[in-house]
A = this chain, B = another copy of it.
Amino acid sequence: MLGPVRHRPHSEKRKMQDKNNRWILTAQCPSRLGTVDVVTRFLKEQRCYITEQQSFDDHLSGHFFIRTEFRPEAEGFGAEAFQAGFAERAAEFEMTFELTAPGTRMPVVIMVSKADHCLNDLLYRYRTGQLPIDIRSIVSNHPDLASLAEWHGIPYRHFPITPETKPEQEAQVREEIEASGAELVILARYMQVLSSEMCTRLSGRAINIHHSLLPGFKGAKPYHQAYEKGVKLVGATAHYINDDLDEGPIITQGVEPVGHADYPEDLVAKGRDIECLTLARAVALHVERRVFLHASRTVVFDR
């Protein structure tokens, strides 16, 4: 995701699964001759060796996207100097960019209700270092999953909700997200409809998992809807939140075959694995800076 130019102080970074000391530079801008050259020429000048690069120009929207992994070859490579230098070149192209240091763990808040399969899966990947995230807290409208959080040593914030207290509860959630320093909110089967204001506020920096192949079966009880229609495939969709719930830009989707012997409760059970995998995959793509958001669509530079 590309926001404004940001800098993460190097001292904060822990090295993790550090293959070849790789930095990541991502950028996007309107289409214009020289968009790739402005990036690669600067990297060459800075003596940065490009280990992997992908770029794409969307000719329908006239927008350009690039993701570069590189290894500095010069002694004393400095993020600040790099960013200052590149900002000058980028300005000419109205290019936004982000530089990510090796071993960066993205600070996140996870939101849940009672179902724990996605949370359990994320915690495992977090605990073993597979997913470079730093879980600042787990927020829930129910107390049920507190002990799971506790075993992983993560603060658990229980903010109950009723129709009357919804605005207050959302204010608590907002405050927690802001205080935590989270750059990403993961809705891991959080079963409350967010207010339009909350959606707008989290737009582009919250990932939700919906248990259907959106845009099919929006809204509640998608597996029961799927059973009614007699579908032979069910699935899950990980997408960014935007102001239209269940319609935010899709990051990735997964699918699972089902049959006549699968009653609605079987679909729910069968769907759990694909929900876990699809959400974990979307979060991994996001934190590895492989997803670019532009209008209502994503560009995903997958491996």
Contact = CB atoms under 8 A, between A and B. Distances in A.
A170 interface: no
Interface string A22-56: 00000000010111110011011001011111111
A230 interface: yes
A300 to B, nearest CB: 6
Contacts of A230: 249-250, 296-298
A37 B39 CA distance: 9
Contacts of A117: 124, 128
Given A215-B229, A250-B232, A260 B299 contact: yes
A20 B231 CA distance: 23
A288 interface: no
Query: Chain A's interface: helix, strand, loop or mixed, by majority?
Result: mixed
A297 B33 contact: no
A157 B249 CA distance: 46
A261 B60 CA distance: 11
A58 interface: yes
A20 B253 contact: no
B56 A52 contact: yes
B19 A47 contact: no
A208 to B, nearest CB: 15
A252 interface: yes
Interface string A277-302: 10000000000000000001111101
B260 A58 contact: yes
Interface string A149-168: 00100000000000000000
A253 B231 contact: yes
Contacts of A251: 232
A250 B229 contact: yes
A40 B33 contact: no
B259 A231 contact: no
Nearest to A218: B216
28 contacts: A31-B49, A33-B44, A33-B47, A35-B50, A36-B40, A36-B43, A37-B43, A40-B40, A41-B41, A49-B57, A52-B56, A52-B57, A53-B55, A59-B263, A60-B263, A151-B151, A213-B213, A214-B229, A216-B216, A229-B250, A230-B249, A230-B297, A230-B298, A232-B251, A232-B253, A232-B300, A259-B303, A273-B277
| Smallest CB-CB A-B distances: 5 pairs | A216-B216, A37-B44, A230-B297, A260-B299, A53-B55
